[in-house]
Structure 1
Amino acid sequence: MNSSIYNKIGINYNETRKADSYLTEQFLKHLNPNKEGLYLDIGCGTGNYTNALQLKGFEFIGIDPSIEMLKKAHSINKNIKWDFAAAEKTNLAQQSIDGIIATLTMHHWVNLTRAFSELNYILKPHGKIVIFTSTPQQMEGYWLNHYFPKMLSDSMIQMPTLEVIENAMAHSRLIITKTETYNVKPDLEDQFLYCGKQNPELYFDDSIRHGISSFSALANGHEIENGLTKLRQDIDSGKINEIVKSYENNLGDYLYVIAEKTEV
């Protein structure tokens, strides 16, 4: 992962990337943690979900390869252990973690197989991994493609498919036990890439675009300017409704991947 991207984004990240209450509850449902366990938020960023889950009464630690992000995380909650580390090398002891969550971070991992091998190493037997991600197939269904085609194409390239994830896990002796799709809700509190699915006006907010790596790191200024101009025209004329409708699909916008370490 290019940590410099998130060192830059991290400066005002908390303004728009808050822990969404519904997504937090979904993490709890899939992870099913217990009050005696120790859990890891990998690629924790500024620690919004780490902190939200800790406030539910569960013990979490967070790791991230961005110093700027970790500084923000520490300022939110000094009672959580925050460490500078990556998925491929967590610096955690063998079988020391009861469960792991990862929120929109897996596409930044340098080597999926190595990362999952590391997660297998630190997980206790029957420990769960809950990953929140988006697949290239799902992203093809974003109406954002109409306005920012190069940005979305570049974003899709770095997103692993479900098959790639499954194969990388299998090499590391992890098994996917369940997947569940998620569709963006109108009251989404975490302003990630497709946050404006039902409210296109959000993309005119500089702070929201700044907190989205696709806009901050992948898109060029010319495409953003042209795309926003076209989007403004289509919103004002009402054509946006036609564009949005043309991208409707049943693939879901994002995906929960729930896996388990099965061997003792």
Structure 2
Amino acid sequence: MRAKYDDISTHYNATRKADNYLVERLWHHLNPKPNGLYLDIGCGTGNYTNKLQRKGYRFIGVDPSKEMLEKAKLQNPNVEWKLGQAETLSLDSKSIDGIMGSLTIHHWAYLEKGFTQLHRVLKTTGNLVIFTSTPKQMAGYWLNHYFPKMMKDSMLQMPALETVKGIMTQVGFATIKTELYSIKPDLKDLFLYSGKHHPKLYLNPHVRQGISSFSSLAHADEVEMGLQQLEADIKTQKIDDIIKSYENDLGDYLFIIGSNSQ
């Protein structure tokens, strides 16, 4: 994962900006207190970390990519940026008042170790807030029509909700809640399904470079052919029918909130 995000870090901040709605939902579920210390695991270049830190909260940002953290440091020297990963956190037990992680758990090599470490460092009164997607949700992305191999590989690395909840319960989280999220037309963070309502986004190479599925998992031939077909379908408006055929009520992503209170 470290090498993958070192490679895509060049244009990352140009397309992966913190989205105000997602910031608000992370803040709501994290429920931070003014004097607390909070952790952003898999923080990347720190876009979400910075938004919440500038609301007046203390943050530590942890990421395995040195290149990502260098960009984070340039943006905000008031956050403690640490090179590391979820499975091997070098933080004291019960030292963190709350933890958030956005689009990160599918990159962890060992889910159980990662959640065990997060539970270890989290105070008993704190919340863990994970923003992610599930294979079931991803099967409903219209991207499957154009990039089936890429989407299959992406779904294979994405843990199922039942798996995540089972591990979180196993490591000690007493309560686990979820909140579905469907892509908003004005989304500012251009991650995998950000083009749900704006398919032209995927024709931009900088947008694709900032999405790990395209930059690391995709087969070049499939992407080239898929983009050609997508562009043609946009011109003929056939894309509208394809998008409509994938409509569902599963949500596109979700928040998973774990706490030790019943």
TM-score (norm 1): 0.97
Write the deviation string for residues 28-58 of structure 1: whole angstroms up to 9, x where unpaired: 1111101010000000000000001001111
Q: Which residue of 1 aligns with 2:60?
A: 61
Give the drift of 1:195: 0.6
In structure 1, the gaps of 5 or more residues are none
Moved over 3 A (4+): none
What is the distance in 1 between the residues matched to 2:152 and 2:242?
18
Q: Within 5 A, what are the aligned runs for 1:208-227?
A: 208-227=207-226
Counterpart contact for 2:175–2:260, Cα < 8 Å: no
2:32 matched to which residue of 1? 33
- Quote the Cα distance in structure 1 between the aligned partners of 2:73 and 2:204: 27
Residue 176 of structure 1, CA deviation: 4.1
The CA deviation at 1:85 is 0.7
Which digits, 9 at most, give the CA deviation of each residue in 1:103-150, with x for residues without a partner? 000000111111111111101112100000000000000000000000
Whether 2:181 is the aligned partner of 1:206: answer: no
2:158 is matched with 159
Q: Cα distance, 1:175 vs. partner?
A: 3.4
Q: Is the 8 A contact 1:166 1:175 kept in 2?
A: no
Identity between Structure 1 and Structure 2 (%) = 55
Partner in structure 2 of residue 79 of structure 1 = 78
Partner in structure 2 of residue 233 of structure 1: 232
CA distance in 2: counterparts of 1:262 and 1:111, whole angstroms: 25
Q: Which amino acid aligns with 2:167?
A: A
CA distance in 2, matches of 1:115, 1:158: 15
Name the count of aligned residue pairs: 262
Q: Tell me what 2:143 maps to.
A: 144
The answer (yes or no) to whether the contact 2:165–2:176 under 8 Å persists in 1 is no
Counterpart in 2 of 1:131?
A: 130
SS of alignment partner, residue 255 of structure 1: strand
CA distance in 2, matches of 1:218, 1:116: 25
Quick check: 1:196 aligned with 2:195?
Answer: yes
Cα displacement string for residues 213-251 of structure 1 (whole angstroms, at most 9, x for unaligned residues) = 000000011111000000011111111011000000000
The 8 Å contact of residues 23 and 51 in structure 2, kept in 1 or not, is answered as yes
Q: Does 1:121 align with 2:136?
A: no
Q: Deviations over 1:179-213 (max 9, x none)?
A: 00001011101000001000000001111000000
CA contact (8 A) 1:19 1:48 kept: yes
Gaps of 5+ in 2: none
Native 8 Å contact 2:119 2:173 kept in 1:
yes
- Preserved CA contact (<8 Å) 1:45 1:69: yes
The aligned runs of 1:45-60 (5 Å cut-off) are 45-60=44-59
Secondary structure, in 3 states, of the residue corresponding to 1:192?
coil
In the alignment, the residues of structure 1 paired with residue 10 and residue 199 of structure 2 have an alpha-carbon distance, to the nearest angstrom, of: 24
SS at 1:129 equivalent: strand
Query: Does the 8 A contact of 1:135 with 1:162 survive in 2?
Result: yes
1:235–1:166 CA distance, 2 compared to 1 (3 A)? same
RMSD of aligned Cα (Å):
1.0
Q: 2:2 touches 2:64 (CA, 8 Å); kept in 1?
A: yes
Which letter does structure 1 place at the counterpart of 2:72? A
Q: Does 1:13 align with 2:50?
A: no
Match of 2:104 in 1: 105
Q: CA deviation at 1:177?
A: 2.9
Q: CA deviation at 1:262?
A: 4.3
